[in-house]
Structure 1
Amino acid sequence: MPGPERQVVIVGYPDAELLDIACVSDALDAANRLGARPGYALRLATVDGHPFRCQSGITLTPHVRLDQVSGPLHTIVVSGGLGHRAAAGDERLLEHVRRLSRDSTRTASVCTGATVLAAAGLLSGRRATTHWAYAAQLAAKYPSVTVDPVPLFIRHGDVYTSAGVTSGLDLALAFVEEDHGPTLAREAARALVTYLQRPGNQAQVSMFLSGPPPEHRQVRDLTAFVAEHLGEDLGTPVLARQAGISTRQLTRLFDAHLGTTPGKYVRTVRAEHAARLLAGTDLPLAAIARRCGFGSTETLRQAFLDHFDTPPSAYRRVHLRQSLG
C-alpha cells in the first residue's frame, strides 16, 4: 500500500507571481488526478495567513500561516515575483523557510524566489539559477552563490532553483518524474498541453531573443553577416576585415555591445543554430556540423556541451520525444 500523501507547501507573499504558484500547484494536481500514489497534498502558506494580492492584481487566500506548518514535509517551494525583495527582507518568513527546509526532502524556488532562498542562507556554496533578468543582481548580492542564468532549472543536492515564471512547470514535472517515473510525468504534461518537460539545461533565452538588435551599426551588420555565413570562416580577422576595422577595435565593440568576444559570439550562434537543426530536421550530425561551421562532429559536440550542458544526440532525443507528443 502506498504511504501517506507527500506534503507540499508553496510559500507566497504580496506581489508574488501568480504563475510561479499555479505552475507548480497545477502540475502536481494533474499528477494527482492521473493516479499519483502517494499523491501530493498541496498547501499555500504565508507569514500571516491573510489573503494577498499577486502582482497581476489577483488575490489568493492561503490555506495556513507558516507558523502552523510543521514537518516532515516532502517539498517546500518559494514562489517569485516583484515582491521578492521585500520577502527576502522579512526575517519571519526567512526563519520559517529555514525551519521548513530542514524538515523537507527537497527545497525549491521558482523565478526570483531564489532571492528568498539566498537570503535564508540556503543557497550558500550552491549553484543556482533565477530569472535571467535578475541573475546579475542575485550574484552581486549573494557572492557565495554560483549563479548560472542559462538553465531552466538546477538541482544542487536537495535544493532546486528554476528560472522565470513558466519554468516552474518544467520543475514541477521534473518532480513528478523523480517521484513517480517518466510515464506519469508524460501523462501530466499531455494533460497540461505542454512539453514533457523541457530539459533543465535548456537555455532560458536564446541569443536571438535576448534583446533588440545592437544599436551600433557595425556590430548590427556583423551579427547579420554571422547569421548568414555560419558555414564559412568567421574568425576574428575575417570579421574585422568585413567591418573594415582592426581586430582590437572589433573585440572592443563586441565587448561593449554584446558583452562577449567575437569568437564566443560566433560559437554560441553556431550552437544555437545547430540546436534548431537537431530539433527540427533529421540531418545527420556531420551535415549539421558542416552547415553550422563546426570543423567536425566532435567540435560540434564540445560546443554543444559548453552551451547546453548536454550532448547533441541527447538534445535531439529529448526534442524528438516531445515532437511525437
Structure 2
Amino acid sequence: MAKEIALVIHNGVQALDVVGPLDVFAEADAMVPIGQGYRCLLVASSLDPVRGSNGMVLMPDLSFAQASRDFHTVLVAGGPTLPEASADEALSAWLRRWGVRAKRHGSVCTGAFVLGHAGLLDGRVVTTHWQNAPRLAAMFPHARVEHDRIHARDGALVTSAGVTAGIDLALALVAEDHGQALALACAKRLVVVAQRQGGQSQFSPLLTPLTDPETPVGRVQAWVIDHLREPMPVRRLAEIAGVSERSIARAFVSELDVTPHEFVEGVRIDQARKLLEASDRALKAVAYDCGFASPEQMRAAFQRRLGTSPGRYRDSFRSSQVA
C-alpha cells in the first residue's frame, strides 16, 4: 500500500519547500512497483487556493477537517514570514492530534517554527534555515537547535535546513523506506547530489560579528582582523584590550557567546573563505595569509566549523571569473 504523505501548506509558503520534496517522492513512486511508493497530498486550513511567497498558487487536496486520519508522514513546509508569525491555533491543534500520529512528522526549513508553536520541539534535536536558527533557539529554548545540519532526525521527528534542504530530507526518507540505491537513482534523475558534503554553515555569511570598536572586545576584533598572520594567545589579546586575560575571556563569552580562540579561528576562516572564492592561490599560501600554522590546521578548522574541506569549499563557491 502506498505511503500517504501530508505536506502542510499555508499562505506565503516557500514554493521550493513544497515542490522539492514532492518531486523526490514522485520520482521514487515511479521507480517502485505500483502501490509500494507514495501518495502525496497538500493539506491546508481550507480548500481555498494558497499563494506562495513567489506568487505561485497551490491547490490543497484536503482541509484540516478532511485530513482527520493517520498519515505515514506529515511535513510542514516553511515560508519567509513564519519566524515572525504568531501561532496558527487551527494548524497547531491539527498537528498535535494528527501530525504526531504519523510514523514520521516534521518540517522543511522554517516550518520548524510551526512545530514549535504546537509544542512539538521541546527536548528534541532540530534544525532550520541557518539564518533563522538563532531565533528558533531563542523562541523555543527547550529545543536543541543544530545550526549546521542539513537535516536532523530525532525519533519520529524530522526537520530540514533551508529551502532546497527539503530535497535532502526527502531523499533521506526515501533511502529509509526503500534503500540507498533508490534514493541515489532519484537524486541522479533530479540532477542533485544524494548526500551533500558539509553542513549549511558553508552557505551562511561570515562567521564573526563585529561590535563597538571603543569597547575592549571591539579593540581586540579590530586588531585581530589587521594582524591575522601573528600569533594570538589570550595574553596578547588582553594586552590589546587593556584588561586581564580573565576579563577579556569573560567579555567575549558575554558579548559574542564565543571564546577569544573561537573568535580568532572564525576570523581566519572568514578570510580564507574570501580568498578561496576570489582566487586560485595555493591552499598553502591561503593558510599562511590567514594565520594558520599549516594547510592541515586550516583543513581541520574548516571541517570543524563548516563541515567541509577548503578544497571542496573552493570547488563549490569559487567565482566564475576565477574558474
**What interval of TM-score do these two structures reach, taking the shorter chain for normalisation?**
0.7 to 0.9
Whole-Å separation in 1 of the counterparts to 2:126 and 2:157 = 9
Matches of 2:250 and 2:123, distance apart in 1: 33
Provide the C-alpha distance between the structure 2 equivalents of 1:103 and 1:236, rounded to a whole number of angstroms: 52
1:270: how far off?
6.8
1:161 is aligned, of 139, 150, 159, to: 159
Matches within 5 A, 1:140-151: 140-151=138-149
Q: Which amino acid aligns with 1:26?
A: D
> 13-22 or 265-274, which moves further after superposition?
265-274
Equivalent residue number for residue 262 of structure 1: 260
In structure 2, the partner of 1:75 is: 73
State whether structure 2 residue 12 is matched by structure 1 residue 15.
yes
1:176 aligns with 2:178: no
* TM-score normalised by length of structure 1: 0.73
Looking at structure 2, the residues matched to 269 and 206 of structure 1 have their Cα atoms a distance apart, in angstroms, of 16
Q: 1:170 to 1:233 in 2, by over 3 A?
A: same
Residue equivalent to 2:94: 96
Whole-Å separation in 1 of the counterparts to 2:249 and 2:33? 54
Deviation of 1:113 (Å): 0.7
Aligned to 1:30: 27
> What is the CA-CA distance between 1:141 and the residue it aligns to?
2.3
Which whole-Å CA distance do the structure 2 matches of 1:192 and 1:140 have between them?
36
CA contact (8 A) 1:255 1:261 kept: yes
Is the Cα contact below 8 Å between 1:129 and 1:162 reproduced in 2?
Answer: yes
Contact 2:225 2:267 in 1 (8 A): no
For 1:15, give the aligned amino acid: G
User: Amino acid of the residue matched to residue 224 of structure 2?
Assistant: L
Change (3 A) 1:234 1:257: same
CA distance in 2, matches of 1:11, 1:102: 14
Partner deviation per Cα, 1:141-182 (whole Å, 9 max, x = no partner): 222212222222211111011122111111111111211222
Equivalence for 2:195: 197
Aligned positions of 1:293-308 closer than 5 A: 293=293, 307=305
Q: Which amino acid aligns with 1:40?
A: Y
- Cα 1:257–1:121 change in 2 (3 A) is closer
Residue in structure 2 matched with residue 222 of structure 1 by the alignment: 224
Work out whether residues 13 and 83 of structure 1, in 8 Å CA contact, stay in contact via their aligned partners in 2.
no
Q: Secondary structure at the match of 2:94?
A: helix
Q: Say if 1:88 and 1:94, in contact at 8 Å, map to a contact too.
A: no
The equivalences for 1:270-281 within 5 A come to: none
Q: RMSD of the TM alignment (CA)?
A: 4.1
Single out whichever of 29-38 and 46-55 deviates more from structure 2.
29-38
Q: 1:138 to 1:208 in 2, by over 3 A?
A: closer
Task: Give the TM-score taking structure 2 as reference length.
Answer: 0.73
What residue number does 1:43 align with? 41
Runs of at least 5 residues in structure 2 that lack an aligned partner in the other structure: 317-323
Change (3 A) 1:176 1:293: farther
How far off is 1:139 after superposition? Answer: 2.2
Q: Distance in 2 between matches of 1:88 and 1:19?
A: 23
One-letter identity of the residue aligned with 1:102: V
3-state DSSP of counterpart to 1:185: helix
Instruction: Report if aligned partners of 2:28, 2:186 keep a CA contact under 8 Å in 1.
Output: yes
Distance 1:194 1:126 in 2: 29
Q: Shift of residue 293 of structure 1?
A: 3.6
Q: Give the 3 Å change call, closer, same or farther, for CA 207–167 of structure 1 in structure 2.
A: closer
* Residue type of the alignment partner of 1:22: V
Q: How many residues align?
A: 297
Question: Using the alignment, how far apart are the partners of 2:210 and 2:187 within structure 1?
Answer: 35
Report SS of the residue matched to 1:42.
strand
Matched-pair identity in %: 33
Deviations 1:233-288 (A, max 9, x none): 443345567x68666586588668865232013445678979x99xx9xx9xxx9x
**CA pair 211-270 structure 1, distance change in 2 beyond 3 A:** closer
